């Protein structure tokens, strides 16, 4: 029975990859939307948004597994900060974006992290700190080391990228995808070790989630 179920799950995984919700956080004009748009545009198979780039989806292939990203852009203006927690519900990953040429945006990213920490248990959500606009290295206000040190202290993934030059953009999203899949596998393994009965539920839960999309 357990075997039958797992093959079923593999089948559905092949037809319909699991959906992961990723929220883009960061202050206004750090280039959140540009990053997402650049990332999605690089793939010719995905349907391009005709009018808006606030909600985007993309199927990613990581090795043999595939997953579907649902990218939720959030309003970055300071005045909307307090209401933006509503976007977090059900998120699997968050991309904390700052502008390497703006110290202020780096501090705001830290603020966002605080919000995430109050909403999620550690390990429930994959967070990446992303320094955007490496093309503006002449005006750099946040050093690579500074960003990396902060990310490491908080156990976040870290990268620097440039949406304008299309540098390291898909790499950043892929890193998040890999981490998500790895954590999912670990979770499944753990559950399997404890009780195979629970694994059945876990599998179908995941399916409910992906088919709802």
Partner 1 sequence: MCRSWLGGPGLQREEEEAFASSQSSQSSQGAQSLTFSKFEEKKTNEKTRKVTTVKKFFSASSRVGSKKDIQEAKTASPSINRQASIETDRVSKEFIEFLKTYHKTGQEIYKQTKIFLETMHFKRELSIEEQSECTQDFYQNVAEKMQTRGKVPPERVEKIMDQIEKYIMTRLYKHVFCPETTDDEKKDLAIQRRIRALHWVTPQMLCVPVSEEIPEVSDMVVRAITDIIEMDSKRVPRDKLACITKCSKHIFNAIKVTKNEPASADDFLPTLIYIVLKGNPPRLQSNIQYITRFCNPSRLMTGEDGYYFTNLCCAVAFIEKLDAQSLNLSQEDFDRYMSGQTSPRKQDSEPWSPDACVGVKQMYKNLDLLSQLNERQERIMSEAKKLEKDLIDWTDGITKEVQDIVEKYPLEIKPPNQPLAAIDSENVENDKLPPPLQPQVYAG
Tokens (6 digits) for 25: 């956080």
Residues 31-60, interacting with partner 1 (CB under 8 A): 32-33, 37, 49-55
Rounded Cα distance, 10 and 31, in Å: 37
- Partners of 70 in beta bridges: 21, 57
Is the torsion defined by CA of 22, 145, 109, 47 positive or negative? negative
Pairing relationship of beta strands 126-132 and 18-25 according to DSSP bridges: unpaired
Task: For residue 105, state whether it binds partner 1 (rule: CB under 8 A).
Answer: no
Task: For residue 202, state whether it binds partner 1 (rule: CB under 8 A).
Answer: no
**DSSP-based three-state secondary structure for 98:** strand
Nearer to partner 1, 18 or 158 (CB): 18
Residues 133-172, interacting with partner 1 (CB under 8 A): none
Taking the complex as a whole, the smallest distance from the CB of residue 184 to partner 1 amounts, in Å, to 16
DSSP string, 113-180: HHHHHHHS-TTSSEEEEEEE-GGGGGG--S-HHHHHHHHHHTT-EEEE-BTTTTBSHHHHHHHHHHHH
Considering only 17, 19, 60, 158, the residue that binds partner 1 (CB under 8 A) is: 19
Nearer to partner 1, 90 or 123 (CB): 90
Taking the complex as a whole, the smallest distance from the CB of residue 70 to partner 1 amounts, in Å, to 6
Residues 72-91, interacting with partner 1 (CB under 8 A): 72-77, 79-80, 82-84, 86-87, 89-90
The residues of the shown chain that bind partner 1, judged by CB under 8 A, are 5, 8, 12, 15-16, 19, 21, 24, 28-29, 32-33, 37, 49-55, 70, 72-77, 79-80, 82-84, 86-87, 89-90, 200-201, 204, 207-213
């Amino acid at each position: 029975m357990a075997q039958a179920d797992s093959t079923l799950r593999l089948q559905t995984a092949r037809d319909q990859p699991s959906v992961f919700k990723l929220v883009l956080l960061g202050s206004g004009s750090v280039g959140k939307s540009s990053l997402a748009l650049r990332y999605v545009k690089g793939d010719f198979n995905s349907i391009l948004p005709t009018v808006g780039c606030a909600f985007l989806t993309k199927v990613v292939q990581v090795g043999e597994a595939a997953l579907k990203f649902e990218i939720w852009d959030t309003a970055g203006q300071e005045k909307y900060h307090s209401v933006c927690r509503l976007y977090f519900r059900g998120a699997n990953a968050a991309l904390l974006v700052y502008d390497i040429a703006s110290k202020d945006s780096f501090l705001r990213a830290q603020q966002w992290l605080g919000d995430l920490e109050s909403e999620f248990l550690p390990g429930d959500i994959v967070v990446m700190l992303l320094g955007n606009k490496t093309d503006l290295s002449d005006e750099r206000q946040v050093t690579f080391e500074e960003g990396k040190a902060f990310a490491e202290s908080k156990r976040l993934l870290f990268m620097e990228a440039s949406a304008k030059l299309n540098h390291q953009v898909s790499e950043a999203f892929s890193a998040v995808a890999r981490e998500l899949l790895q954590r999912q596998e670990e979770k499944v393994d753990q559950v399997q070790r404890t009780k195979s009965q629970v694994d059945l539920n876990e599998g179908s839960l995941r399916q409910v989630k992906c088919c709802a999309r």
